[in-house]
A and B are shown apart, each in its own frame.
Chain A
Amino acid sequence: QVHLVESGGGVVQPGGSLRLTCAASGFTFSSYDVHWVRQAPGKGLEWVAVIWYDGSNQYYENSVKGRFTISRDNSGNTLYLQMNTLRAEDTAVYYCARGRECSGGTCYSAAYFQDWGQGTLVSISS
Chain B
Amino acid sequence: EIVMTQSPATLSVSPGERATLSCRASQSVRSNLAWYQQKPGQAPRLLIYDATTRATGIPARFSGFGSGTEFTLAISSLQSEDFAVYYCQQYYNWWTFGPGTKVDLK
Contact = CB atoms under 8 A, between A and B. Distances in A.
Contact of B43 (A46, A110, A112, A116): A116
B99 A44 contact: yes
B55 interface: yes
Contact of B44 (A45, A50, A59, A111): A45
B45 A116 contact: yes
Residue of B34, B45, B95, B97 ringed by the most chain A CB atoms within 10 A:
B95
Chain B interface mostly: loop
A112 B89 contact: yes
Interface of A: 35, 44-47, 50, 59, 95, 110-119
A35 B44 CA distance: 14
Contact of A115 (B32, B46, B96): B46
30 contacts: A44-B97, A44-B98, A44-B99, A44-B100, A45-B38, A45-B44, A45-B87, A45-B97, A45-B100, A46-B97, A47-B94, A47-B95, A47-B96, A47-B97, A59-B94, A95-B44, A110-B32, A110-B49, A111-B91, A112-B34, A112-B46, A112-B49, A112-B89, A113-B34, A113-B44, A113-B46, A114-B46, A116-B45, A118-B42, A119-B43
Nearest to B35: A112
Contacts of A50: 95
Given A44-B87, A44-B98, A112-B89, 17 more contacts: A35-B95, A44-B99, A45-B38, A45-B87, A45-B100, A110-B49, A110-B91, A112-B50, A112-B91, A113-B36, A113-B44, A113-B89, A114-B55, A115-B46, A116-B43, A116-B44, A119-B43
